[in-house]
Amino acid sequence: MRNQIKTVLLLGVLTGFFLFIGEMLGGKHGLIIALVLTAMMNFGAYWFSDKIVLSRYHAQPITREEAPELYDVVDELSRNAGLPMPKIYIIPEDSPNAFATGRNPKHAAVAVTTGLLKLLDMREIRGVLSHELSHVKHRDTLISAVAATIAGAIMVLVRIAQFSAFFGFGGDDDDGGGIIGLLFFMIVGPIAALIIQMAISRSREYYADEEGAKISSDPLALAGALSKLDAYSKRIPMARATETTSHMFIVNPFSGKSLSRLFSTHPPIEERIKRLQEMARI
pLDDT per residue as tens digits for the range 166-209: 555 554 444 444 565 566 666 666 666 666 665 566 678 999 99
Task: Check residue 243 and give its pLDDT.
Answer: 74
With a cut of 50, say whether residue 164 has pLDDT above it: yes
Q: Using a pLDDT cut of 70, give the percent of the chain over it.
A: 68
Q: How far apart are CA 112 and CA 135, in angstroms?
A: 14
132 is catalytic: yes
- How do the domains of the chain map onto residue ranges? 2-281
Q: pLDDT tens for residues 1-30?
A: 555 666 667 667 767 777 776 776 667 777
Residue 49: which of 107, 91, 128 has the closest Cα?
Answer: 107
C-beta of residue 95 within 8 angstroms of C-beta of residue 232? yes
pLDDT reported for residue 270:
94
Q: What's the pTM value of the predicted model, to 2 decimals?
A: 0.78
pLDDT at residue 219 tops 90? yes
| Mean pLDDT of the region 90-117 | 95
Determine which one of 23, 93, 132, 205 is catalytic.
132
